[in-house]
Amino acid sequence: MSVLLAALVACVNVVFAASSLPEISAVGSKFFTADGDQFYIKGIAYQLISLDPLLDEAQCTRDAVSMKKLGANAIRVYHVDSTGDHSGCMSAFADAGIYLFVDLDTFDTQINQDSPNWNQTQLTAFQAVLDEFQEYSNTAGVFVGNEVLTRANGSGAAPYVKAALRDVKSYRDSKKYRKIPVGYSAADIPELRPMLQNYLACGDDPSINADFFSLNVYEWCGVSSYEGSGYSMLEQNATDYNIPIFISETGCRKPAPRLFDDQDSIFGTDMANTWSGAIIYEWIEEMNDYGLISYGPKVNPTLSTDALDGFPRSGTPTPVSPDYSNLQQHWATLTPAGVRLSAYTGSTAGLSPPACPTSTKDGWVVNGNAKLPSLGQTLDAAATASSTAAPTGSASASASATGGGMAAGGKEVAGMGFGLISVMLGFIVWL
């Protein structure tokens, strides 16, 4: 029996060894692997279905192979079912050298900008997702929110995002999980830039601050440049930032084709010393027309349960031309060396948190390092409204938060929110 048990344990160890990647950690303003190499994200937004794309091992395997050819090393998944079995998909992506950044919220647990609160129900749901994915070495990071703030006058919700960071990190540490980075994905709202990114990293208590900050950016559209796109301002705002920062969505779809020229700046001398890479929106071709691949031609959604909105959700990934190859060609030539952890650690002493922002006439209403909401607390909207005039400035949410058309300023918007809603509406129609 003991011999048989030893053989079984050996087999299990072999399986896990083949499906593991060096763990990712946040040190100072950069990500590093457990091997000591700086990690730059070449990621893809991956949400084939509205609830959880990480349950179909066969599909994950097919997609992972294609992503590896593309040059990707990470995916971002917005919604998962914490009760599902994700081992097959996580192993398939690990075998392809691909890490996961996963959002902890769902449609009914996300923090609401209009009536923000942070309660035990939300926290428990976030904890369940963390419990499920902390065991995988290729879980690179988790988000406590995606574009909670989408308007210039939405900053009253920021303390609730930071309260979520505080409580998720506290739970992670209480469970003695590894230090999986916990961060936030922000909409690119000019009136809140850079106040939000500074707010989530400011103060003397790192236990309540974000481990990383990311931004959904649709500014470099068509033929543009580092200066003309506004990326130079993103770099200016992030210089000397004390935690890792990266672009969590990018990839304008208009004008077509998608050129992805911004990748040269992100991974080149313009930004690579400050930014930790980018995630391209998105993998699957659907109604929003952002896809890098398709699983076949559009079909009648009433005739196929696998294509509720008319776009097949599984099958052999076929590159969308020329978008897939355009991105592939950029990534193939962009391999920043970065810095070794052993050479970098000493320099982190020179990093300090940014000053906490104070209220501005353009929309930021959170003064200084104010006390965070307690669990179960809601925003006193009347008090907030009386303390500051509501601004009227324009703002632009990203592809994952809004529903179509062009926002003021000409930035891309239609995307994840529209795509996922269309899946559910298609399902209702089909029924």
Which positions are catalytic? 147, 249
Q: Evaluate whether 185 touches 104 at the Cβ level (below 8 Å).
A: no
Q: Which distant-in-sequence residues (6+ apart) come within 8 Å of 146 by Cβ?
A: 78, 103, 105, 110, 185, 216, 248, 400, 401
Beta bridge partners of 212: 183
